[in-house]
Amino acid sequence: MTHTDPFLSLSARTGRFGFGSPRAATLSEDGTRVLFLRSTGPLDPVERLWLLDLTTRTERLVADPVAIAPQRTGDPADLPVAERRLRERTRLWAPGIGSFAATADLAVAVFTLDGRLHRTVTDTAVTTELPTAGPAFDPRPDATGQRVAYLTGGALHLTPAPALHPGGPLAPLSPPDGALWGTAEFAAAEELGRHRGHWWSPDGRAVLATRVDESALPLRHFADPAHPEQAPDTFAYPQAGGPNADVQLWVLALDGHRVRLRWDTAAHPYLTAAGWEGNGEILLTVADRLQQCVLLLSADPATGETRELSRTTDEFWVDEVPGTPARLADGRMLTAADTPDGGARGLALDGRILSDERLQVRRVVGRLDGRLLIEANEDQPADQHVYLLDPDGGVPERLTEGAGVHSATAAGGTLLLTSATPDGIHRTVHFRGERIPLADHAEPLPYRVRPQLARVTELGLPTAVVYPRGHVAGERLPVLLDVYGGPGAQAVASEPRRWQVRQWWADQGFAVVTTDNRGTPFVSPAFTRAIFRRFSQVAIEDQVAALRALAPDHPDLDLERVGVRGWSYGGYLAALAVLRRPDVFHAASAGAPPTDFRLYDTAYTERYLGLPQDNPEGYRADCLIEDAPALRRPLLLIHGLADDNVHPAHTLLLSEALTRAGRPHSLLALPGVSHLTAGGVMEQLAALELDFLRGALG
């Protein structure tokens, strides 16, 4: 795509400044090697597989898709439909090796390119294409790397197939019963954090696999109006209040023996995590439909019987802390829990609160030197730090310093720290007393942005203001509210890449304001839960209150010219702003907005709003369609017609209602574009939004 603006052009050509950065870094179990994905530089989108030997500090290329298959480097149009949807769920859009799986020692890695299965021996960098029964995706090697489980045509296959398995070398391990085997259903992959559906046993004699029956789900259709000769794409979608996929777990032995794991799937239909804890035990995490009760279960793979190890409950919803619930090596149960004063989301060990009120725990990474490795924040929600927490007590030890978003992974006593700070993004491996950088070849970030952060109103709303570079005090500026505002995502964070486009917007002549309203994470449990059973009211109240609270300290904010832009939930909030508060917001650009949550998915929507049949007033209050006659401000609606997350019907229904009400608005429908707006689309949209907002605000 052509971009005339230098920043937008550079952003598009460099993959939003991500091409050339290491990604998906994995440590070997002994902590001596790192396997990761990275393209060769800032203008190269094709991701390759690299290995860093920490004992020798030697980095080498182990799999290059350009050399393996020059004509097959992962263009989304060439991917199998199932893999393309999985990439959409995991937010992957660069070509090349989008993901890989490896043995614990990283000796063997497997991946697919355009549906073809490849196996790489990392020590020799020899890559072999393996025969498959059809276009393959999500391959997983056994512990030895000799057998690979992969998915095709809704079935779970092995290659090479075991000699004892009937049906020939390409026969599936799963039975041909019409279900989807070994995959993560939409709700799990999009909303519950589980992106896989099959796991090898440690001895390689069986595979634990999901069985997904979507026959009860309604179908969604996606037609490309630019190609009317093509049949529409169709897939099953779990719509709020309707049926979910029926998800089961089975142990599929290579000798043909099959055992179903049994728990009360009617009471706890969501499978959020699973895995082997040895050849004789499986651990799985399940949740009820409203996610108010989460169980950690132990299962016997020989009989399928399960028993409860821990139970986490909440009258609102169980606020996710990835890495919990978990069982420590000594048998104690680690769960998420509010601290005694209710001021933070913390950890409990066998029911005893482990973390203190200072720490808002975000993730349990794992173990390091006998202590828990966690990611958390203290007083400033914009920052995230890495800590060591002794399960037997003691003061948490912070391992990272300075403003930024710091994250970690660890194995075998080795620690990999990623620090995203105003100075850029740096990855450092701490190995046997040494610090070894993980080489980054990405384009340097054009702007060093230091947003003016503040906590405003009696609620302590996190806010940020970005001014044009060289702004002269006393020059009044139109305000652009750059918003998300939805649960589970934080907009005001010290991660430098997200501030690049906000600085660009500021340099176009705006004071850019971003506020995390109640409902967003990492402030306090009460802050997050304030949107229980209704999204819209507190969100818009907080955005208005934050603007007004900022005004005394930022007199150059012209609150008579306030525009708002956002995507996804942010698009919903942008449209909501001009429909319900035209006294404050004077124009809006709403991208991919879920305008009626009765049409959105089960796992996300019901977690916060409950079932539509139990909370009809809440759903109606959050729906924008009936607000259409009230529109009196300029509104630009944008939606990709291939968006399988927020279906384009959301925007089209609002546009239809606006048209029937005689309310002028602008509609930009994008054939072939998904929710991700990849491949330079985001930058093209920014230029179009700029023209719209300048015209609307003057």
Tokens read off for 540: 């818009």
| Per-residue pLDDT tens digits for 389-424 | 999 988 899 999 999 999 999 999 999 999 999 889
Identify the band that residue 82 occupies on the pLDDT scale cut at 50, 70 and 90: confident
Among 79-83, 91-95, 336-340, 576-580, the range with the most confident prediction by mean pLDDT is 576-580
Give the pLDDT confidence score for residue 72 in this predicted structure. 60
Which of 340-344, 414-418, 561-565 has the lowest average pLDDT? 340-344
* CB-CB contact of 117 with 150 (8 Å): yes
Q: How far apart are CA 161 and CA 15, in angstroms?
A: 39
pLDDT digits (tens, 9 = 90+) for 227-238: 889 888 898 999
> Domains of the chain: which residue ranges?
20-172, 174-318, 452-697
pLDDT score for 233:
87
Q: Three-state DSSP class for 209? A: strand
Mean pLDDT over residues 36-40, rounded?
Answer: 97
Question: Residue 374 and residue 364: Cα distance in Å, rounded?
Answer: 4
CA dihedral 13, 18, 24, 26 (to 10 degrees): 120
Comparing C-alpha atoms, which of 300, 299, 311 is closest to residue 336? 311
Does the pLDDT value for residue 356 go beyond 70?
yes
Total length of the chain: 698
- Residue 21 near residue 50 (C-beta atoms within 8 A): no
Which of 127, 93, 133 is closest to 110 using CA atoms? 127
The CATH code of domain 452-697 reads: 3.40.50.1820
Q: Is the pLDDT of residue 672 over 50?
A: yes
452-697 has the same fold as 20-172: no
The three-state secondary structure class of 677 is coil
- The answer to whether 338 and 319 have CB atoms below 8 angstroms apart is no
- Distance in angstroms (rounded) separating the CA atoms of residues 269 and 293: 11
Q: How far apart are CA 145 and CA 541, in angstroms?
A: 55
Residue 129 has pLDDT above 60, yes or no: yes
Tokens 């005001």 correspond to 492
Centroid of chain to Cα 604: 13
pLDDT score of 452 more than 90: yes
Share of the chain above pLDDT 90, in %: 87
What confidence score (pLDDT) does residue 634 get? Answer: 98
The string of pLDDT tens digits covering residues 499-538 is: 999 999 999 999 999 999 999 999 999 999 999 999 999 9
Q: For the chain, give the mean pLDDT.
A: 94
Identify which of 187, 177, 159 has the alpha carbon closest to the alpha carbon of residue 289. 187
pLDDT in the model for residue 227? 87
The 3-state DSSP class for residue 275 equals strand
What pLDDT, on the 0 to 100 scale, is given for residue 522?
96
The token pair that represents 10 in the structure block: 């550079």
Stretch 343-371: mean pLDDT, rounded? Answer: 92
User: For 241-269, what is the mean pLDDT?
Assistant: 97
Q: Report DSSP state, residue 630.
A: G
pLDDT at 480 over 90: yes
Q: Which of 92, 104, 13, 102 is nearest to 49 (CA)?
A: 102
Model confidence at 212: pLDDT above 50: yes
The distance from CA 331 to its chain's CA centroid, rounded to whole angstroms, is 31
- The residue ranking higher by pLDDT, 71 or 375, is 375
Q: Which amino acid is at 480?
A: L
What does 400-449 look like in DSSP terms, one character per residue?
Answer: --SSSEEEEEEETTEEEEEEEETTEEEEEEEETTEEEEPP--SPPPS---
Q: Which two three-digit tokens encode residue 422?
A: 């105003």
Question: What pLDDT score does 77 carry?
Answer: 65
Average pLDDT, stretch 257-280? Answer: 97
For residue 168, what pLDDT is reported?
47
SS (H, E, C) 110-161: EEEECCEEEEEECCCCEEEEECCCCCCEEEEECCCCCCEEEEECCEEEEECC
Sheet-wide strand order for 270-276: 270-276, 282-287, 293-299, 306-313
pLDDT over threshold 60, residue 74: no
State mean pLDDT over 86-107: 89
Helices (H), 285-433: none
Report the alpha-carbon angle 434-17-188, nearest 5: 85
Q: Two tokens at 612?
A: 């539509």
* CATH of the domain spanning 20-172: 2.40.128
Contact 26, 450 (CB under 8 A): no
| Helix ranges (DSSP H) in 165-271 | 186-187
Hey, which residues does 33 pair with through a beta bridge? 53
pLDDT at 266 over 80: yes
